Chains A and B, each alone.
Chain A
Amino acid sequence: MEKIDLKKIIFSSVFVLTCILLGFFGQISQAINTLHSSGIDQNSLFLLLITPFIALFISFCRIIIGINVPTILIPTILVFSLFIIGLNTTIFFLCLSIGLALLGKYLITEFHLHFSSKISIIFSFVSIGLVLALPLIKDPLSLTATAIYPILIISLVNEKQFSFKISRSSLISDFKSIIKIIIFSLLCFFLLGGAILSYQFPEFKQLITTYPESVLIAFLLNFVIGQYTGLRLTEIIRFRKLIFKSK
């Protein structure tokens, strides 16, 4: 037991020192300023800074609330794209790629092919579909920003949660988890300052851009949440009878 405590003490002191150094001496702000002045887009820097918060939000949902967001990668990419290409375009592309992947999977199950060949065909199917759909976007400005997006989306399609298993009954549960991920991403997007239906909550975005050191809050909060061994909110609801009984 003592050994673990010693490890903890060393680690936390190193951690606190780093935080103080970074925060107190304004290292993060300086770095951001340097990057900004060398021509890097403010938005990209913002995305970089909010990543810890997306992760924090995911762990909060899992550990405290008990909603299991099955992956970190997908919501992160979705939040990014929401910020870059906006709500409507993201939803449009997402639905399109999911639809195409679904259709591709459905068609491909008729052939007896190897797994990797099946996946690669679905990949091609989605990518060609997206290429054909790209010109539909009228705004040329967002088009340049969008160009990278199909690549991301295609990679998502093969993620475990997005790979539809047509032949099985799990289709509904797959859909459920996709809907969950999308709702979660939208919520995350809104909390981080994105606009949904002209509603906005800009305070957070302002805080991040003005004081980039506030990223360290995510660090600390993660530490607190990470040690939580109590019941999750959903478990409290699930076990309410037992809790009531024992009280």
Chain B
Amino acid sequence: MFFSKSGILGINARNLLYIRPFNKEKSVEIADDKLKTKAFLSARGIPVPKLLDVVGSSKEISKFSFKKLGSEFVLKPNLGFGGEGIIPIIRKQDSLFISGKNKSYSKYDLIEHIRDILNGDYSITDKPDKAFFEKLIISDEILGRYSYQGLPDIRVIVHNLVPVMAMLRLPTADSDGKANLHQGAIGAGIDLAKGEITHLLHRNQIIKEVPGFGSIKGLKIPFWDDVLRIACKAQLATNLGYMGADIAIDKYQGPVLLEINARAGIGIQLANLQPLRKRLEKLENVQVSTIEKGIRIAKDMFGYSIEKDIRTLSGKKVIGMYEPIEFLNLPENLSSIAFINTSRKKSYLSLDLAKQLGIIKSKKAKNLDDVSAKLKFKLAGKKLTSIFKIDKQIKKKYQVIIGNRDIAGQFLVDTGINNHISIKNGNTNKIFLSHYNPLETDRQLSKVNNQLKFLSHFRPLNFSEEISKFEINNNYNPQFVYGDFSEQYQQFKKTLKKINYDETDLGQLFKRKSQELELQLELIMARGSQEFTNVSSRLFGIPTLSEIAEITAIPNYSKPPKIFNKYSSLELKAIFEETLNDYGLNDWRVAISDKILARCITNKNKKILIKSNSIFSEERVKALIIHEIETHLLTAENGHRQKYKLFNYGFANYLATQEGLAMHNVLSNSDLKSEEGHKEKLTESIHLSQTMSFAELFNDLRNKNLTQKSALDICIRVKRGMTDTSQGGAFTKDYSYYSGKKIIRNFLDQGGDLRDLYHGKYNLSDLPVIKTISLFQIPPLLPKWLK
């Protein structure tokens, strides 16, 4: 037939050759009926979204209570198709239900929708239907961040118990949050062997990147093997010979089966740039007895990893930098870890191992250069013999070096294979192989970072009482009290210790973050102690004497000009919301809070907090927009769209770069020149505070013509973390503004591009590494003046 040699599966062949003979009527009936699918498959141990309730007739509507559903659920038509008629409710506001698209529904709107469903308006056959509610699936962040207001899912085609082809479907603005390709969703082909994204398809065109999010090629689908297993299990249970399984990755539950499809579409071939019929034909006479076997066949036959290609081309096995090694023909077989070092010719043993093997009797043995031993060993499944020398320099991490002589001609070394290996307590007999996953490290670090809530530990428990005492008597030194942290300290320490890093640049980047977190823990513990200023300066730096000299050389500031236009916190909130809207950042919220020290901060959970009952001048509002939204928020949002969460939460020492960037932006884009003066004042105060008490500092600032309010604000900022504020000592965090500003100026003087600082939150010195791991060439969200 025409073009049948191309191996592409057309609708004709799909219907005649696969659906008709393989999909029995009974099975198709189950697949078309979502409730039946759910009941049938969950009874067979396949994870599905939990069913909350069913409305089967109009009689039941009147009795129906929305109360038991909670504030998160999905309303679906049972016989629906193409994603029509589905309403996901993500939260409740007063008595309104808010959908994923930010549309609000009253109870009566939902009842009307249920009526439509019962009428069969969304049914595939136009017959009367049932409506049901199920648990809302919240997508895993790795996939969720690339989709627009909808749930991304993975379509796996299974035939003969073998997953044949798979694609990730990402809802877009174009598809109105739906995951169907013909409605405009993005289809991303997946390498079956590794579960990594290969190509992207949008409206039948291959595209390079997800619009607004950058390229996701190489992105690994989480729980990949589980996804394949669930798809195969579903096929085994339903007996559909040609089946499409739609699986979503829930943030909490992991992979869940959304629905199964007896007439899976053929667009998947374009997303993978692979013909499907060819693959199906290959399976014609393959006997598959178990699911595991089916998955293995799929990976071997249809995965296109480079490793496999090289192996088949060269006939050589590919090994990583570190491989387990087993010494044979000894009284007791001994295992260890070998470092594959192609730059050394010969192979070496560590001193310890040599002793253990009985090659040398004592550590004091002289002339180690002359000692050598012929040993038989097994490396990556191959039995080899070699002569080993002893190397005193070998570190504990590995005990053996395999040199080029033993590798050449036998293996190919792939430095990308990260068999992260750790040896417990130096006991070489016990080997722990763990697959090092930078995403996991990133996740763990982010978790610690978020749970720690660093700054919150510097808010005294008796803050208001002490400050009001001070307000009455300006010579009083507040005595702050803080919550206990020692128990949490131990826990956080433990968690941080468990996190793995490798030797790559990225690994080191993570390691630095971990060290920063440890220092933060130390600083919290040091509250009120003599060491406080010292630890704080290690974390944030401290103004140098020459900097202070520079600052004091600048004449005192005159009082700020009279403010004409004043804005309240509420008005500022409205202005912020408008600006957010302009940038299309509809999922950010602005809230008014009385719990924050600063007048306005950007929080990690997509929230901007404004201090209640504050007054803002017009210039200040402008500056705040530049500072909070156009700097912190845009970097956070860009960071949020990256592969690693720390882009959003901040890599080590990101603060100075962030604040410096914000300062620079404010100074060069607004008229608020007093901003610079304020931060310089803060820096000077940090310096003075090391020797001055709270009251002394306050009076000094008042003498320098600062208002009561600003002076108090500065004192609180630099004295937080102290218990007895009559002592000298300073919290040096706010030095970041001044130091950061200098860093940014320096960067610009050297011809730096500010856009490079918008990939997320990181320290400028990490930029080269950051650029290699960023998903973007140019960050998608930039302030107006940088576009």
Contacts and interface: CB of A to CB of B under 8 A. Distances in A.
Contact of A228 (B1, B84, B115, B126): B1
A246 interface: yes
A148 interface: no
B16 A229 contact: yes
B204 interface: yes
A229 B3 contact: no
A32 B781 CA distance: 76
A180 B349 CA distance: 78
A108 to B, nearest CB: 12
Interface in A213-247: 227-232, 235-236, 238-239, 241-243, 245-247
10 smallest beta-carbon distances between A and B, as pairs: A230-B1, A115-B119, A231-B10, A229-B13, A230-B2, A243-B6, A231-B3, A235-B10, A246-B6, A229-B12
Given A168-B84, A230-B10, 20 more contacts: A63-B12, A112-B115, A167-B116, A228-B1, A228-B12, A229-B10, A230-B3, A231-B1, A231-B2, A231-B6, A231-B10, A232-B10, A232-B12, A239-B270, A241-B206, A241-B270, A242-B269, A242-B270, A243-B8, A246-B7
Contacts of A242: 6, 8, 269-270, 273-275
A228 B2 CA distance: 9
B700 interface: no
9 contacts: A229-B1, A230-B2, A231-B2, A231-B10, A236-B2, A238-B204, A241-B206, A242-B6, A242-B269
Contacts of B16: 227, 229
A246 B6 CA distance: 6
Interface string B1-43: 1111011101111001100000000000000000000000000
A176 interface: no
A205 interface: no
Contacts of B112: 112
A160 B121 CA distance: 10
A7 B8 CA distance: 30
B120 interface: yes
Contacts of A228: 1, 12
A21 to B, nearest CB: 30
Contacts of A227: 16
B77 to A, nearest CB: 12
Contact of A238 (B13, B206, B270): B270
Given A235-B11, A242-B275, A230 B121 contact: no
A71 B204 CA distance: 26
Nearest to A243: B6
Contacts of B6: 231, 239, 242-243, 246-247
Contacts of A165: 121
A146 to B, nearest CB: 30
Nearest to A229: B13
A76 B352 CA distance: 90
A44 B237 CA distance: 53
A147 to B, nearest CB: 30
Interface in A175-232: 227-232
Contacts of A114: 119
Contacts of A241: 206, 270, 273
A47 B491 CA distance: 86
Interface of A: 63, 66, 112, 114-115, 160, 163, 165, 167-168, 170, 227-232, 235-236, 238-239, 241-243, 245-247
Contacts of B119: 114-115
Contacts of A235: 8, 10-11, 266
Contacts of A170: 84
Contacts of A236: 2-3
Contacts of B270: 238-239, 241-242
Interface string B425-464: 0000000000000000000000000000000000000000
A131 B266 CA distance: 47
Nearest to A158: B126
A136 B512 CA distance: 87
Contacts of B273: 241-242, 245
A167 B17 CA distance: 39
Contact of B11 (A112, A115, A232, A245): A232
Nearest to B15: A229
Nearest to B115: A112
B269 A239 contact: yes
A77 B206 CA distance: 42
B278 to A, nearest CB: 8
A242 B6 CA distance: 8
Contacts of A66: 11
Of the candidates B1, B8, B206, B270, the one having the most CB atoms from chain A within 10 angstroms of its own CB is B8
A229 B8 CA distance: 11
A230 B12 contact: yes
B5 to A, nearest CB: 8
Contacts of B10: 229-232, 235
A235 B2 CA distance: 11
A121 to B, nearest CB: 14
B109 to A, nearest CB: 12
A114 B16 CA distance: 40
A134 B13 CA distance: 48
A230 B13 contact: yes
Interface in B194-240: 204, 206
Contacts of A238: 204, 270
A46 to B, nearest CB: 32
Given A230-B13, A246-B275, A239 B1 contact: no
Nearest to A235: B10
A179 B611 CA distance: 59
A238 B84 CA distance: 25
B470 to A, nearest CB: 62
Nearest to B122: A168
A160 B126 CA distance: 8
Contacts of B115: 112
A160 B127 CA distance: 11
Nearest to B13: A229
Of the candidates B1, B3, B269, the one having the most CB atoms from chain A within 10 angstroms of its own CB is B3
Contacts of A115: 119-120, 128
A128 B499 CA distance: 78
Interface in B234-266: 266
A231 B4 contact: yes
Nearest to B12: A229
A53 B12 CA distance: 21
Given A229-B1, A230-B2, A239 B12 contact: no
Nearest to B128: A115
A170 B116 CA distance: 15
Nearest to B4: A230
A229 B269 contact: no
A241 B271 CA distance: 11
Of the candidates B1, B10, B266, B274, the one having the most CB atoms from chain A within 10 angstroms of its own CB is B10
A63 B14 CA distance: 12
Contacts of A112: 112, 115
Nearest to B82: A170
A112 B61 CA distance: 14
Of the candidates A160, A227, A228, A230, the one having the most CB atoms from chain B within 10 angstroms of its own CB is A230
Nearest to B267: A238
A19 to B, nearest CB: 24
